[in-house]
Chains A and B, each alone.
Chain A
Amino acid sequence: METLSVYVPKLVTNKEYIASGHRACSGCGEVLALRYVCKALGRNTIISNATGCMEIISSPLPETAWEVSWIHTLFENAAAVASGIESGLKALKRKHGYIKDVKVVAMGGDGATADIGLQALSGALERGHDFIYVCFDNEAYMNTGIQRSSETPFGASTTTAPSGKVSMGQHTWKKNMAAIAAAHNIPYVATSCSSYPFDIMYKIEKARKVKGPSYIHILSVCPTGWRCPSSDTIKMGRLAVETGVFPLYEIENGEYKMNFDYPKLRPVEDYLTAQGRFRHLTKEQIAEIQQKVIVEYEKIKMLSSRKKGK
Chain B
Amino acid sequence: MKNDIIEIRWHGRGGQGAVTSAELTALAAIHEGKYAQAFPSFGPERRGAPVLAFNRIRTDRAVRERSGIIKPDIVVVIDPGLVSLINVTDGLKPGGTLIVNSARSVEDLQQDFSGDWKLAVVDAASIAKKLLGVNIVNTTMLGALIKATEVIDCDSLREPLEERFGARAKSNFEACKQAAENTVISEITPSGDKRPRSFAVEKLPKWNELPVGCVVTDVGNTKAFCTGNWKSQHPEWLDSKCIKCGICSIFCPEGCIKQQKDGFFRADLFYCKGCGICARECWTQAIKMVEEA
Q: Looking across the interface, which residue of chain B has its beta carbon closest to that of A6?
A: B244
* Contact A21:B223 (CB < 8 A) given known A7-B245, A27-B275: yes
215-260 of chain B: CB within 8 A of chain A: 216, 218-227, 230-231, 243-247, 249-256, 258-259
Q: Is A161 an interface residue (CB 8 A)?
A: no
Q: Is the CB of A65 within 8 A of B245?
A: no
* Contact A23:B227 (CB < 8 A) given known A32-B253, A230-B276, A231-B276: yes
Q: Is the CB of A22 within 8 A of B222?
A: yes
* Contact A21:B219 (CB < 8 A) given known A9-B259, A26-B274, A230-B276: no
Q: Looking across the interface, which residue of chain A has its beta carbon closest to that of B219?
A: A67
By CB atoms of chain B within 10 A, which of A6, A12, A67 has the most? A6
By CB atoms of chain A within 10 A, which of B205, B250, B289 has the most? B250
Residues of A with C-beta under 8 A to B210: 61-62
Q: Looking across the interface, which residue of chain B has its beta carbon closest to that of A28?
A: B253
Q: Is A19 an interface residue (CB 8 A)?
A: yes
For B, the interface residue count at a CB cutoff of 8 angstroms equals 54
By CB atoms of chain B within 10 A, which of A19, A61, A234 has the most? A19
Q: Is the CB of B271 within 8 A of A6?
A: no
Residues of A with C-beta under 8 A to B216: 59, 61-64
Q: Is the CB of A27 within 8 A of B276?
A: yes
0/1 interface trace, chain B 267-282, chain A, CB 8 Å (1 if under):
0101101111101110
* Contact A25:B14 (CB < 8 A) given known A6-B263, A57-B44, A64-B216: yes
For A, the interface residue count at a CB cutoff of 8 angstroms equals 47
Residues of B with C-beta under 8 A to A24: 46, 253
Shortest CB-to-CB span from A283 to chain B, Å, is: 18
Residues of B with C-beta under 8 A to A28: 46, 253, 275
Q: Which of A5, A29, A31 contacts B245 (CB 8 A)?
A: A5
Q: Is the CB of B253 within 8 A of A27?
A: yes
Q: Is the CB of A4 within 8 A of B243?
A: yes
Residues of B with C-beta under 8 A to A25: 14-15, 46-48, 273
Q: Is A162 an interface residue (CB 8 A)?
A: no
* Contact A26:B222 (CB < 8 A) given known A6-B246, A21-B271: no
Residues of B with C-beta under 8 A to A1: 243
Residues of A with C-beta under 8 A to B44: 23, 56-57, 60
Q: Is the CB of B224 within 8 A of A21?
A: yes
Q: Which of A20, A26, A58 contacts B230 (CB 8 A)?
A: A26
Q: Is the CB of A63 within 8 A of B204?
A: yes
42-86 of chain A: CB within 8 A of chain B: 56-67
Residues of A with C-beta under 8 A to B200: none
Q: Is the CB of B47 within 8 A of A19?
A: no
Q: Is B293 an interface residue (CB 8 A)?
A: no
Please report the number of residue pairs spanning A and B whose Cβ atoms sit closer than 8 angstroms: 157
Q: Is the CB of A66 within 8 A of B245?
A: no
| Bound CA span A22–B222, Å | 6
Q: Looking across the interface, which residue of chain A has its beta carbon closest to that of B224?
A: A21
* Contact A58:B222 (CB < 8 A) given known A4-B243, A21-B271, A25-B47: yes
Q: Is the CB of A26 within 8 A of B259?
A: no
Shortest CB-to-CB span from A177 to chain B, Å, is: 24
Q: Is B199 an interface residue (CB 8 A)?
A: no
Q: Is A197 an interface residue (CB 8 A)?
A: yes
Q: Is A122 an interface residue (CB 8 A)?
A: no
Q: Is the CB of A5 within 8 A of B243?
A: yes
Q: Is the CB of B268 within 8 A of A231?
A: no
Q: Is A206 an interface residue (CB 8 A)?
A: no
By CB atoms of chain A within 10 A, which of B223, B255, B263, B279 has the most? B255
Q: Is A235 an interface residue (CB 8 A)?
A: yes
Shortest CB-to-CB span from A60 to chain B, Å, is: 6
List 10 extra interface pairs beyond A4-B245, A7-B246, A12-B250, CB under 8 A.
Answer: A6-B259, A6-B263, A26-B47, A26-B48, A26-B275, A28-B253, A32-B252, A35-B253, A59-B216, A224-B46
Q: Residues on A close to B: CB < 8 A?
A: 1, 4-9, 12, 14, 16, 18-29, 31-32, 35, 56-67, 197, 223-224, 229-235
User: Closest 5 interchain pairs by CB?
Assistant: A8-B246, A231-B276, A27-B275, A26-B273, A19-B220
